[in-house]
Structure 1
Amino acid sequence: MMKNIFKNIGPGTLVAAAFIGPGTVTVCTIAGVTYGFTLLWAMLVSIIATIVLQEMAMRLGLVGGKGLAETITTQIKSTSLRWLAMGLIIGAVLIGNAAYEAGNISGGVLGLETLIETTTYSIIGLNINYLSIIIGIIAFVLLYIGNYKIIERFLVGLVVIMSLSFLLTAIITKPNLAEIFKGLLMPKIPEKGILTIIALIGTTVVPYNLFLHASLVKEKWNGVADLKAARRDLFFSIILGGIVSIAIIITATNGEGGVVTNASDLAIGLKPLYGSFATYFLSIGLFAAGITSAITAPLAAAYVARGCFGWDTNLKSNKFRSVWGLILVLGVIFSSIGFKPITIITFAQVANGILLPVVAGFLIWIVNKKEVLGSHVNTKLQNIVGVCVVSIALLLGLRSLYLVFVA
């Protein structure tokens, strides 16, 4: 029974591994520290939105037989609009993922630094963090092998470790179950809490995951016949990811001590309250979150480039490797020397803020086209929910632009 469960999970777990990165861990930590259980409902909404959009992307990949980027470029008839869409997608995903890759690797390093005291060495006047290089090497080896099954099994294992780590940490804090259900089922927007709500949604509904999922299902499943299995994989993985995110909020709510701005601070603050085990669990969880996202972000960027330019489907092709290699190398460099690429991160905020509603809009448009999906087009209910999700995505995009240009 257990063997069959693990056999039938895969692409959905990689999507969960991608969205539960250091950014999600940090936002959930801040939400818990600042507002307690009050914003748990926002995470619940985020998970529903993620399931809705990822199901569309998954259905497109299985039934349509092409990735999202490929389908967008073939369905847009106008040459100028097609090049505009390709430029927007490639610019946002490639440059955005390069910027966030540094954050993914740094997040994994933060988890280990809580347990390891000395992690930097001075070379030619630069303080190099060797943990960033180690994480980069692990990601490079797995991606270079180019075997989907090996990547999948490694990430599934890390997701299990990450999930257990965060769940056990939450259990150790002995939360109030009545307050948890109240926070989940009774929506409330605290004063100055709107940006945190949008941030929770934004770290969960990730635009590059739509490209990643539509491409990965073709590696695992075989067309329409496997739709039910693919949906089970999706629901199980995304719901598990949501539970993990909720567990982080719960843990942060029950933490005490000094200023907490990320999960590493939280791990240190938990030690005097709940003992070293809480610190170990949280640190291992943060490390796993960082390394899983450090693998999926370059992979997603390579899939997007492959879809836009119509490259060979082989994961071992030089073009495919060159894209994920570039993203990974930039992430390792920025993370290992502690450099904060403000300009690139600013561009990534703007690009992803614009990309999410645009991609979600494209996705809903495509999954309503019978020439692409036949009888598997969206239902009216799926369209209604999808439009609501796009509206939320648009709000997120406006928020990103506001933070960059106004705040």
Structure 2
Amino acid sequence: MIKNWFKNIGPGTLVAAAFIGPGTVTVCTLAGVNFGYSLLWAMTLSIIATVVLQEMSARLGIISQKGLAELIKTEIKNPVFKILAIILIFSAIVLGNAAYEAGNITGGVLGLETLVGNPQIIFGGFSIHMLSICIGFLAFLLLYIGNYKILEKVLVSMVILMSFSFLVTAVITKPDIFAILKGMFIPKFPKDSLLSVIGLIGTTVVPYNLFLHASLVKEKWYDESDLRFARKDAVTAIVLGGLVSMCIIVSSASIQAKDISNAIDLAKGLEPLFGSFAKYFLSIGLFAAGITSAITAPLAAAYVASGCLGWKSDMKSKKFRSVWMFILFLGILFSSLGIKPIDIIKFAQVANGILLPVIAGFLIWVMNQESIFGIYKNSIKQNLLAFIILGISVLLSLATLNKVFNLNIF
């Protein structure tokens, strides 16, 4: 039974690996420090929304044996709308992931620094962080091998390590279980919490995961009968990923200090209260979050570029490799030179929140095409849930624009 379970996990775990990156760790840390358990409900909502959208994405990949970008390109008949859609998707996912990558690698570096220090080389007036190059090289090696099964096994292992690390950290803080349950299911909006709510949802329901999932499931499954495995895989992995995010919020809620701005500050804050074990577990979790996202972000960008430009989605093709190499190179460059990625991460998080309803709208529209999916097109119940999520994402996007640019929409 356990052997069969391991045999049928994979793409969903990679999706979880993708959304639990350093940005997620940072957002969850700040939510816990500033608002305690009161924003856990936003994670509950995020988990439900992610399960609904990613199930559609998995169904799309298995039934059509095509990627989301590829289907959007073929199904939009108006040439003007088609070009606009391709430009929007390409720029949002490929350029957005390039922005994320420096933060992903830097997040992994921050986790390792606690364990091995911070080796640097001074060259031509620049301080080069060697750990960034090491993490980048590891990501390069795994992606260059181009073997989905090897990539899957490595990322599943890292996600299990990350989940264990953050879970142990949360347990060490001896949280109030009743307060946690209350925070998970009773929505509250404490003062100045709107951007944190947007951040929690935006960092979990990630647009590029919709493209990544559809492309990955067809690497593993080829038949309609495999749909049940894909659904179970997606639900299990996404719920686990959401619980990991909740564990970070719970851990950070135990810290009384307010001068916490990232996970490393949280690790230092936990040490005097709960001993060095908490610091080390959190650091290992942050490293795992960084390295998994450093692999999945370039991979997703390559799949999207291939779909938009009509290339073959082969992990060993030169064109496919050229895209993820470009994304990875930028991430290593910015990270190794010590360029602070926090503003880039913030920009990408806000961009995700704004772009989500557009990408989700594309997905819902495509999943209602009976000519492609037949009996596997969206049911009334699936459409109802999808449109509720779409409505929430539109409101959150408007709230993001309103808050960031002072548009006075509300």
Query: Aligning the two structures, in what range does the TM-score lie when normalised by the shorter sequence?
Result: over 0.9
CA distance in 2, matches of 1:214, 1:107: 27
Structure 1 residue 23 corresponds to structure 2 residue 15 = no
CA distance in 1, matches of 2:317, 2:237: 29
Pick closer, same or farther for the CA change 1:142–1:73 going to 2, 3 Å.
Answer: same
Alignment of 1:221-232 (within 5 A): 221-232=221-232
Pick closer, same or farther for the CA change 1:6–1:364 going to 2, 3 Å.
Answer: same
CA distance in 1, matches of 2:113, 2:51: 34
Deviation at 1:345, TM superposition (A): 6.1
Pick closer, same or farther for the CA change 1:400–1:116 going to 2, 3 Å.
Answer: farther
Q: 1:349, 1:401 within 8 Å by CA — same for their partners in 2?
A: no
Query: Which residue does the alignment assign to 1:377?
Result: 377
CA distance in 1, matches of 2:341, 2:285: 26
Structure 1 unaligned regions, length at least 5: none
Percent sequence identity over matched residues? 62
Alignment of 1:6-405 (within 5 A): 6-257=6-257, 259-340=259-340, 348=348, 351-402=351-402, 405=405
1:160-185 alpha-carbon deviations (Å, 9 max, x no partner):
00000000111111111111111112
Pick closer, same or farther for the CA change 1:64–1:325 going to 2, 3 Å.
Answer: same
2:35 corresponds to which letter in structure 1? Y
CA distance in 2, matches of 1:334, 1:292: 18
Deviation at 1:66, TM superposition (A): 0.9
Q: Secondary structure at the match of 1:128?
A: strand
Pick closer, same or farther for the CA change 1:276–1:202 going to 2, 3 Å.
Answer: same
CA distance in 2, matches of 1:240, 1:350: 24
Q: Secondary structure at the match of 1:38?
A: coil
Pick closer, same or farther for the CA change 1:3–1:136 going to 2, 3 Å.
Answer: same
CA distance in 2, matches of 1:152, 1:344: 28
CA distance in 1, matches of 2:195, 2:158: 30
CA distance in 2, matches of 1:34, 1:351: 23
Q: Secondary structure at the match of 1:314?
A: coil
Instruction: State which drifts further: 331-340 or 298-307.
Output: 331-340
Deviation at 1:406, TM superposition (A): 3.9
Deviation at 1:256, TM superposition (A): 3.5
Deviation at 1:402, TM superposition (A): 4.2
Pick closer, same or farther for the CA change 1:403–1:193 going to 2, 3 Å.
Answer: closer
Pick closer, same or farther for the CA change 1:346–1:13 going to 2, 3 Å.
Answer: closer
Q: 2:103, 2:341 within 8 Å by CA — same for their partners in 1?
A: no
Pick closer, same or farther for the CA change 1:90–1:343 going to 2, 3 Å.
Answer: farther
Deviation at 1:396, TM superposition (A): 3.4
CA distance in 2, matches of 1:345, 1:91: 16
Q: 1:69, 1:211 within 8 Å by CA — same for their partners in 2?
A: yes
Pick closer, same or farther for the CA change 1:194–1:354 going to 2, 3 Å.
Answer: closer
Query: Which residue does the alignment assign to 1:2?
Result: 2
1:197-248 alpha-carbon deviations (Å, 9 max, x no partner):
1110000000000000000000011221100011010011001001111111
Q: 2:12, 2:234 within 8 Å by CA — same for their partners in 1?
A: yes
Instruction: State which drifts further: 209-218 or 350-359.
Output: 350-359
- The alignment of Structure 1 onto Structure 2 pairs a total of residues equal to 407
Pick closer, same or farther for the CA change 1:161–1:41 going to 2, 3 Å.
Answer: same
Deviation at 1:15, TM superposition (A): 0.1
CA distance in 1, matches of 2:369, 2:111: 45
Pick closer, same or farther for the CA change 1:400–1:323 going to 2, 3 Å.
Answer: farther
1:285-311 alpha-carbon deviations (Å, 9 max, x no partner):
000000000000000000001111221
Q: Secondary structure at the match of 1:192?
A: coil
CA distance in 1, matches of 2:218, 2:118: 43
1:329 corresponds to which letter in structure 2? F
1:295-347 alpha-carbon deviations (Å, 9 max, x no partner):
00000000001111221232100000000000000001111112247996687
Deviation at 1:104, TM superposition (A): 0.5
Q: 1:96, 1:345 within 8 Å by CA — same for their partners in 2?
A: no
Pick closer, same or farther for the CA change 1:342–1:117 going to 2, 3 Å.
Answer: closer
Q: Secondary structure at the match of 1:114?
A: helix
CA distance in 1, matches of 2:135, 2:392: 34
Pick closer, same or farther for the CA change 1:274–1:187 going to 2, 3 Å.
Answer: same
Q: 2:103, 2:345 within 8 Å by CA — same for their partners in 1?
A: no
